Structure 1
Amino acid sequence: MEVKNDAVKILVVDDEESLREICKDALVDEGYQVLQAEDGREALSILAANDDIDLIVSDLRMPVMNGLELLEKIKEVNLDIDFLVMTGFATIETAVECMKMGAADYLPKPFNINHLLVKVSKVVKARRAKQERKRLSNIVRMLNLSNALNAQLDLKSICYEFVLQVQRNFSPESAVLFIQKDQGNSLGKAVVRGRLFREDPDFFARVQKLAQDSLENGSSYLLDKTRAQELAMFSGQEFPYSMLVVPLFSRMKKVGVIVLIRRDTQLFTNDDLQLLSVFAAHVATAIQNAKMYTRMRDQNIDIIRSYAKAVEAKDYYTKGHSERVAVYAIKLGSYLKLDTKELEALYTSGVLHDIGKIGIPDHILNKPSRLDEEEFEVMKSHPSIARDILSQVWSLKHTLPVVYHHHERIDGKGYPDGIMNGQIPFLAKVISVVDAFEAMTSDRAYRRALDWEKARDILLQGSGTQWESDLVDRWVKLVSEIGFDNIQNDTQDNTLHFHRSH
């Protein structure tokens, strides 16, 4: 994902004002947002007021609080901020100490300003790459969670499965899931894991009180030994922990609270809090729907569609594309008299066929003209990215061959594997035809939508080389029978009908 420099915020910390100004001017010229502090203490104040700082460029030797002390404070509270050290004391020992403390890089003084820019660019690029990997990893985690929850039909199983997934993804020492009781507003413990909550009833009672407050106020908490002292139930008490407290809400209804705790030697982060909040939203819905077994499949499909929309949100011109491909695939599959299982596989594959584009840079995905050869090679990687994502979700493994091979050609000139007609999965060939049809008859960044006659002619020209002849003939016949305008306008109604009847 391409990120502009103006989205990157840098804090320059140095007691020498002239050097700060030089650094600021150079970084601003490169498009970065820049804040300044004259020592570590002022830097901490700025960090308290700004939670979106990406990088600190700091001198080591400063009054009040030096660079190493600032770095130590940042690591102590586990802030996700990269740190670039500047120092006039360029010794190997100092460099090693900084790197052991978690500094991203080291810049000896005096330095050429271009050297600073190169170092900053290197750190920023590494940060972006790390964030992108984390984003893709989180998508996989959410898909796995959704799949695991939807495999359970009763409340007890959902609660145990959710806590199991939380343990796998966050590695807490102890965890407790509270569920809102049917009568009244009090919380009851649904699942408790770990010895801490079991062995210290008084501590557990205070945690339950905090969970109740969290649910009543709709507030999440990320606590450490300092922040916990601000709360009445922990004030004056020893708190050698790191704790996450997240309320569960579904459609504005109170459902419960999840609490995770570790020793303070391994602190939770804001990223952990955000991801747990997403997990909480998923399980809240699952809990609310636990007794409505017939609605579980609809919930699963809605979650799958949300991932496709995450891709489409990156590209205005493909809004609704995956949903329409899925519905067209069902229409063609029904026309071919495929069974219910195959139709469901077609729908899921249609919704997910472009999920790999979430890993394609925006400047390629949204380019208003044809892609050059190098850009097209990047675009061709999206089936492989989709395979990597979906292969980690066991219930979606049946869609892997369809999604992975939907850009193959009958003549073997497609991608990613260049396989030929007999080797291409049948459902992938179905998706290929309707995907091409939808793309041709919709607006794109580089051209307007084609009319039915032009799209039909292109399909017929590619029959037997790009697409399977029989499928092209069947699709052209179906569209001709239904009518081009009708088949476009009927997508939403058919989606709803598919949900109700399957």
Structure 2
Amino acid sequence: VLEGFISLVRPLGSVYMVHIAMAAVVLRVYPSLGAWGLAIALLLTLILQNSFNLYLRIRRAYAQTIKALAHAAEMDRPQDVGHAERVAELAIAVGRESGLSSTELEHVGYGALLHDVGRIGYDGEDADTTHPVRGAEIVEAVPFLEGVAPLIRHHRDTDDDVVPEGAVIVGVCCRYDRLRSHIGARAALERLEAEEEGRRLRAAKTLASVVSRRSGSLGLSEDPS
């Protein structure tokens, strides 16, 4: 899931454009500056490439940290192992189908991975209702995850006036995955379409389309697992 996030490949286009621009500069300055101009242009290109590689390493480190937090949230609940990654994969697919931007897809992916992070270290009877707020409070202080906190906070809400689109998608995919583990994929989708309303119903219909087309690649089954 993490390696497929659009955020890790989104900068590639910009970097390639810069390389093309640098090549144009080389062609422009070489006749007048000769070898010195070429050397300077090559040096700038190397600096740019190293900076980009560092950026990618930092982004991957962020992604691995998020994945570790997602796993930590599942450690005390063996029945939930893999739940966050399944929800993330589904949510990204539904978000892409729904026309979300690359930034919104990034937030959806991270929000899905971290939607249960508020359960870490807390097993109170009200965990099901309080973990979204607890989870949002954990991540909202991290600048990198600023846009993710609202998705975590609202993924269980049904109020269309306050719930971000990404939270709707994460919430529906979360509910689907939990239902699927008990009653199977087909019955889970039928229940979602029968019980959800408004934007959550639209997300459920998009999810049904995604599951129908991509059940093999997403590793889903009609039978409870």
TM-score (norm 1): 0.32
Report the counterpart of residue 193 of structure 2 in structure 1. 460
**1:486 to partner: Cα distance:** 3.9
Map 1:366-381 onto structure 2 (within 5 A): 375=125, 377-381=126-130
Output the amino acid matched with 1:297: R
Letter in 1 for 2:155: H
Distance in 2 between residues matched to 1:454 and 1:291, nearest whole Å = 46
Q: Which runs of 4+ in 1 moved over 6 A?
A: none
Note the C-alpha offset of 1:387: 2.1
Q: Tell me the distance in 2 between the aligned counterparts of 1:339 and 1:430.
A: 14
Give the alignment partner of residue 429 of structure 1, picking from 134, 144, 168: 168
Alignment of 1:351-390 (within 5 A): 351-361=113-123, 375=125, 377-390=126-139
Shift of residue 308 of structure 1?
Answer: 1.1
Give the structure with the higher percent helix.
Answer: 2
Provide, for residues 166-185 of structure 1, a one-character-per-residue CA deviation record: whole Å limited to 9, x for no partner: xxxxxxxxxxxxxxxxxxxx
Distance 1:398-1:471 versus aligned 2 partners, 3 A rule:
same
How many residues align? The count is 171
Deviation at 1:321, TM superposition (A): 0.9
Cα distance, 1:433–1:293 mapped onto 2, change above 3 Å:
same
Partner of 2:201: 469
Letter of the aligned partner of 1:441 in structure 2?
R
Matches within 5 A, 1:86-97: none
Would you say 1:394 and 2:143 are equivalent positions? yes
Whole-angstrom distance in 2 between the partners of 1:294 and 1:392: 22
Equivalent of residue 89 in structure 2, options 313, 322, 327: 327
Of residues 208, 211, 217, the one that matches 1:479 is 211
Structure 1 or 2, whichever has the larger Rg, is: 1
RMSD across aligned positions (CA) = 2.3
2: distance between equivalents of 1:425 and 1:340?
Answer: 15
Structure 1 position 405 matched with structure 2 position 154: yes
Number of the residue aligned with 2:45: none
Please list the CA deviations of residues 351-399 of structure 1 after superposition, one character each: whole Å capped at 9, or x if unmatched. Answer: 11100011322xx6xxxxxxxxxx2x34311112112211221221111
Q: Kindly indicate whether residue 68 of structure 2 is the aligned counterpart of residue 306 of structure 1.
A: yes
- Counterpart pick for 1:318 among 80, 99, 116: 80
| Distance in 2 (alpha carbons) for counterparts of 1:392 and 1:294 | 22
Contact 1:359 1:385 in 2 (8 A): no
TM-score, length-normalised on structure 2?
Answer: 0.69
Q: Which residue number corresponds to residue 12 of structure 2?
A: none
Shift of 1:309: 0.8
Residues 437 and 303 of structure 1, relative CA distance in 2, 3 Å threshold: same
Q: Deviations over 1:327-369 (max 9, x none)?
A: 11111111112221111111110111100011322xx6xxxxx
Change (3 A) 1:451 1:295: same
Cα shift at 1:473: 1.4
Checking the alignment, whether the CA contact within 8 Å between 1:359 and 1:382 is kept in structure 2 is no
Q: Is the 8 A contact 2:189 2:208 kept in 1?
A: yes
Does the 8 Å contact 2:185/2:220 carry over to 1? no
| Matches of 2:86 and 2:104, distance apart in 1 | 17
Q: Identify unmatched segments of 5+ residues in structure 2.
A: 1-50
- One-letter amino acid matched to 1:452: A
Q: Which residue of 2 aligns with 1:128?
A: none
* Contact 2:91-2:169 at 8 Å conserved across structures: yes
Shift of 1:489: 5.4
Identity of aligned pairs, percent?
Answer: 25
Query: Residue 407 of structure 1 aligns to a residue in which SS?
Result: coil
TM-aligned CA deviation for residue 299 of structure 1: 1.5
Whole-Å separation in 2 of the counterparts to 1:435 and 1:346 = 12
1:296 to 2:62 alignment: no
**Maintained 8 Å contact 1:360/1:379:** no
